[in-house]
């Protein structure tokens, strides 16, 4: 008998300010460990980098997370004994793992938390276990500060990882 495919671990949140998005990143950091890959999706200005900034704060890494102009990947070493944060902005990269290969993410992933903006179609081959975060601007929001965030855990790593804690 075939096992029924279980629903992916998933949680949905509404975030109403940049500061709340950072706070979400700080909370998310508590769930992350070396070897975790986080893929961030959402249009320009959705808040991917803002979320990553909070994540870096939560992980306690060196240097502020920014939107790099020229650098595609930046390593933020831990200020304590936690894993470094590797922040990748793949916006300027074409498709395929070929161009990603120079970044040696496969080498750094086992020891790092790797967060990739615009990584669809580029980094999936790194690991089956991924945390997929999609950020949408709320339609009709006049303040332009409301975001809907969907967090989906793919693979065994996230099957019972307690993503509900994010909305607490």
Ligand X SMILES: Nc1ncnc2c1ncn2[C@@H]1O[C@H](COP(=O)(O)OP(=O)(O)O)[C@@H](O)[C@H]1O
Q: Is the dihedral of CA 115, 32, 23, 65 positive or negative?
A: negative
Q: How far is the CB of 153 from Mg ion (least distance, A)?
A: 22
Q: How far is the CB of 118 from Mg ion (least distance, A)?
A: 8
Q: Is 48 in the site for ligand X (CB under 6 A)?
A: yes
Q: Is 18 in the site for ligand X (CB under 6 A)?
A: yes
Q: Is 68 in the site for ligand X (CB under 6 A)?
A: no
Q: How far is the CB of 62 from Mg ion (least distance, A)?
A: 19
Q: In terms of C-beta density within 10 A (0-12 exposed, 13-18 middle, 19 or more buried), how is residue 17 classed?
A: middle
DSSP 64-85: -----SS-SEEEE-BSSSSPPE
Strand partners, 130: 154
Stretch that binds ligand X, among 13-21, 29-37, 70-78, 80-88 (CB under 6 A): 13-21
Residues 6+ apart with CB under 8 A from 17: 145
H-assigned helices in 17-141: 18-31, 48-59, 97-101, 105-108
Q: Contact with ligand X (CB under 6 A): which of 13, 37, 39, 42?
A: 42
Q: How far is the CB of 59 from ligand X (least distance, A)?
A: 17
Q: How far is the CB of 45 from ligand X (least distance, A)?
A: 5
Stretch that binds ligand X, among 17-25, 28-36, 121-129, 151-159 (CB under 6 A): 17-25
Query: Residue 108 binds which entry of ligand X, Mg ion, none, with Cβ cut-offs from 5 to 8 Å by kind?
Result: none
19 SS3 class = helix
Residue given tokens 């008998």 in the structure block: 1
What does the binding site for Mg ion look like in residue numbers (CB under 5 A)? 48-49, 67, 117
**Which residues in this chain contact ligand X in the complex, by CB under 6 A?**
15, 17-18, 21, 42, 44-50, 67, 117, 145, 147
């Amino acid at each position: 008998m075939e096992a029924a495919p279980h629903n992916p671990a998933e949680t949905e949140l509404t975030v109403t300010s940049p500061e709340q998005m950072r706070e979400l990143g700080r909370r998310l950091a508590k769930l992350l460990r070396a070897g975790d890959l986080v893929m961030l999706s959402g249009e320009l200005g959705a808040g991917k980098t803002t979320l990553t900034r909070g994540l870096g704060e939560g992980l306690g890494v060196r240097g502020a997370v920014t939107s790099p102009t020229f650098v595609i990947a930046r390593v933020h070493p831990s200020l304590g004994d936690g894993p470094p944060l590797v922040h990748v902005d793949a916006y300027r990269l074409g498709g395929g793992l070929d161009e990603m290969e120079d970044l040696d993410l496969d080498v750094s992933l086992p020891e790092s938390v790797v967060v990739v903006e615009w990584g669809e179609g580029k980094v999936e081959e790194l690991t089956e276990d991924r945390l997929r975060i999609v950020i949408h601007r709320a339609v009709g929001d006049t303040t332009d500060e409301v975001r809907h965030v969907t967090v989906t855990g793919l693979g065994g790593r996230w099957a019972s990882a307690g993503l509900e804690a994010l909305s607490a």
